[in-house]
Amino acid sequence: MTNSPFKAYDVRGQVDQNLTSDLMYAIGLGFAVEIVQGAAVVMGWDGRESSPRLADALADGLMAGGSDVLDIGLCGTEEVYFATDHLGAGGGLMVTASHNPLGDNGLKLVGRGARPLSRDSGLARIEALCAAPPATAKTLGRRRPVSPRAAYVTKVLSFIDPPALAPLTLLVNAGNGAAGPTFDAIADALASMGSPVQFRRLFHAPDPSFPNGIPNPLLPENQPATAQAVVQHQADMGVAWDGDFDRCFFFDAQGQFIDGVYLVGLLAQAALARAPGESIVYDPRAVLNTRDLVARAGGRAIMAKTGHSYMKAAMRAENAVYGGEMSAHHYFRDFMFCDSGMIPWLLVLNEMSRTGKSLQDLVAARVAAFPVSGERNFRIEEPDASIARVEAAYAPKAVHRDGSDGLSLEFANWRFNLRRSNTEALVRLNVESGGDPARVTAEVQAISALVRG
């Protein structure tokens, strides 16, 4: 398909252009016939204006393929993952564009047990079936609403001991995405279990017009609203989510944004304290802090390609207790090896309560030991040529090279990763060092110049 919305491990496109109701119907039909063979399918959607309409077309296709549709309504992606496993469904489909622009939408797909689908494990077959649709089933499926949220809340709260939490105040920013109602269910359950944590809410109600901007807290221009609210409310920590809340982002009590790589290290350390000697999976964009912490804690550090289907496959292969991407995806063995945007903030609150330390104190030494650039994004007409220029300049001097996910080159006291995005037309750069922030700044400038040509 020209300008195909089928990506490496999901579907994303522009609504009514390359992502239409007819295409969603075809995907539903192909998924029912080819992937689940008529088994029941969980379906949910995010807060975008087009999501209910696209979900209706998707459900029609699923039912035409003989699958019952277990409709959980407005929710987060991780609730589809959970419900697929919890309800024993053959698969799960989440209508979402996450943090993409306002006119976009998409689809995240999992099989039985919330196992992810990628191009190699079914997505390519579904794309082919959209061009040559299979016959509809003799017996059509039915659509019925289900509500597994209470069971989901019980699951995420099983990661901590709510009454043991300290009387902290948390500022939460749902970004007018899907997070608000689910968060409220968690907060209510925490209160009923005797947790003393207090919450302050910002941009909490779902609103398809996104009056405060697309919920993507990774963008620097979107961070001041949360940072200022943390300070205004004298909160101990701030948390902000993207549109389908499978990613969460952290701010300390001073309103400082905490780079995701330090959360990966913190959560890996906490996981290994509970499960000594286990495996931790991480992505190749920024690795020095995670590798060091995992080694100190006696765990096994395993690198996997960026992207949820690759991370989950590596975690399943290694039976890893935790996996983390610096882009704020956090995966847990005890959550079907899936990513969650709700479990991480609960675990960080747990660590703050257990240690009596602030979030700033929990990460300060790591920030100093392994400074990072944060991800720099470039829209480049010829991305391969840009990466080739950087490779030609730097590869001869590298002491280690890895090409499993873009170009990763390591030197005596610093490294960088340069890769094409799996979901957007971007080239992404990450630079890090061992205790040398000046080196990070200098190399970002030099590599950026080469990327731009």
pLDDT in tens, 206-257: 999 999 999 999 999 999 999 999 999 999 999 999 999 999 999 999 999 9
Q: What interhelical angle do 359-369 and 260-274 show, nearest 10?
A: 110
> Is the Cβ–Cβ distance between 178 and 46 less than 8 Å?
yes
pLDDT of 424:
72
Handedness of CA 415, 418, 423, 426 (dihedral sign): positive
- Mean pLDDT of all residues in 298-313: 94
Known catalytic membership, residue 118: no
> Is the Cβ–Cβ distance between 83 and 148 less than 8 Å?
yes
Domain annotation for the chain: domains and CATH numbers: 11-150 (3.40.120.10), 168-257 (3.40.120.10), 260-358 (3.40.120.10), 376-452 (3.30.310.50)
Residue 235 CA to residue 377 CA, distance in Å, equals 31
Residue 29 CA to residue 15 CA, distance in Å, equals 19
pLDDT of 115:
96
DSSP per-residue codes, 163-220? GGS-S-EEEEE-TTSSHHHHHHHHHHHHHHTT---EEEEES-S--TT-TT--S-TTSG
> Which range is least confidently modeled, 80-84, 118-122, 174-178, 376-380?
118-122
**First CA to last CA across the chain, in angstroms?**
31
**Mean predicted lDDT score pLDDT of the chain:** 96
Q: Of 306, 242, 250, which is closest to residue 106 (Cα–Cα)?
A: 242
pLDDT of 1:
44
Q: What is the DSSP letter of 354?
A: H
- Tens digits of per-residue pLDDT, 376-392? 999 988 999 999 999 99
pLDDT of 244:
98
- Tens digits of per-residue pLDDT, 15-43? 999 999 999 999 999 999 999 999 999 99
- Mean pLDDT of all residues in 129-141: 96
Q: Which of 21, 50, 67, 98 is catalytic?
A: 98
> Is the Cβ–Cβ distance between 181 and 76 less than 8 Å?
no
Handedness of CA 190, 194, 197, 201 (dihedral sign): positive
- Mean pLDDT of all residues in 347-351: 98
Q: Say yes or no to pLDDT of 107 above 50.
A: yes
Q: Of 40, 38, 59, 53, which is closest to residue 134 (Cα–Cα)?
A: 38
pLDDT of 223:
97
> Is the Cβ–Cβ distance between 276 and 410 less than 8 Å?
no
- Tens digits of per-residue pLDDT, 393-441? 999 999 999 999 999 999 999 999 999 987 677 899 999 999 999 999 9
> Residue 238 is encoded by which pair of tokens?
């701030």
pTM score, whole prediction = 0.96
Instruction: Quickly state the pLDDT bin for 47 (edges 50, 70, 90).
Output: very high
